[in-house]
Structure 1
């Protein structure tokens, strides 16, 4: 069961890598727009994160860190909102605001850091 939990954790980090990687390609490629790959990375990270938040396969003496789970969930929802707002602006033919675009990258890096460090 512990091996399965580590695999789900790996998939969770892969989701953030896909999200951050697709953001970095846009950021340093000069286009600065929201892509479908960002949505896919966000979905992978969200589903795997929710699977990790379930208390399955933990030893009896281990407690869940609900503050960490709540913080990461709020950040994930904000990233999703920023991606959604950026996508809507693009569909209307407007550009993505720089603060909105850079917020996606910074919050994604912060969420991945929380997953690893906290």
Structure 2
């Protein structure tokens, strides 16, 4: 059971890497655009994160406050991706503040996962 949990954790990390990596590529190239790969990364990280939040086969207590905060941040990133893609369809690009917020919140979510015990 622990091996399965580690596999789900790996999938969760791959989702984060897709989201943050796609965002970083756009940021380095100074293209303020929301890509489909960012949305796929968010979806993968979200589904795997929800699977990790289920108390299956663990011997320690879950930190539900941390899980809740991470879920709220994930929903905020999803909202920003949705708003950004709608504005991108209308105007051709995403406002820089909205674009940078996506990257910062993604990094904050990873920081919460690593630093909050």
Q: Which TM bucket (shorter chain)?
A: over 0.9
The CA distance in 2 between the partners of 1:7 and 1:110, in whole Å, is 23
Residue number in structure 1 paired with 2:54: 54
Give the aligned length: 116
The Cα shift of 1:95 comes to 2.5
With normalisation by structure 1, the TM-score equals 0.94
The Cα shift of 1:94 comes to 4.4
The CA distance in 2 between the partners of 1:92 and 1:85, in whole Å, is 11
Instruction: Calculate the aligned-residue CA RMSD, in Å.
Output: 0.9
The Cα shift of 1:3 comes to 1.1
Asked if the contact 1:13/1:112 (under 8 Å) is kept, the reply is no
The CA distance in 1 between the partners of 2:11 and 2:46, in whole Å, is 10
With normalisation by structure 2, the TM-score equals 0.95
The CA distance in 2 between the partners of 1:111 and 1:9, in whole Å, is 15
List structure 1 segments (4+ residues) > 4 angstroms apart after TM superposition: none
Structure 1, unmatched stretches of 5+, are none
Asked if the contact 1:15/1:45 (under 8 Å) is kept, the reply is yes
